[in-house]
Amino acid sequence: MIKLDDVARDNDVNLDESVVFVKGKEDILSVDINSLGIMQRSDDTMGVKFSLTPKQTKELEKFFSKFQNGEKFYFNISRTGYRPVYYRGLSPITKEVSQEYESKFNVTLFMQKAIAVPDDNYFEPTCECCEFCHIG
């Protein structure tokens, strides 16, 4: 896996305030955590909504244009560890116009957890001699 210190050095980013997306050894994208929001759904899918400058939007679009639906990649939020996910697509890009600040572009990345947490596998004991039968 890519070493985060190398990403920080090569891209001049503060990893404590970044999300790093990694595909293979060469494809790396770092995004400031203040320009995104994460929405988690109960079906193990999530959306990462970005609000980016035009240049950042082009970089994001270029990075994810190489992905196929269902392709595995990794993300790391503020050095919390790499999480495997499957790519599920990008939303259409919309422009956010404001009088107060430079125009931003909004786009949402859809992804699905690659590792499913198994359901609780506890079952009711069926025999009377089981060591768990006294639990009630």
Residue 123 lies in a domain: no
Residue 124 lies in a domain: no
What residues form DSSP beta bridges with 52? Answer: 105
Range of 75's domain? 4-113
Asked if residues 87 and 70 have their Cβ atoms less than 8 Å apart, the reply is: yes
Residue 121 lies in a domain: no
Asked if residues 13 and 31 have their Cβ atoms less than 8 Å apart, the reply is: no
Local confidence pLDDT in tens for the 136 residues of the chain: 556 666 666 666 677 888 989 887 778 888 989 899 989 887 888 999 999 999 999 999 999 999 999 999 999 898 888 899 999 999 999 998 777 777 899 999 999 998 755 555 555 555 555 555 545 4
Q: How many domains does the chain have?
A: 1
Global model pTM greater than 0.75: no
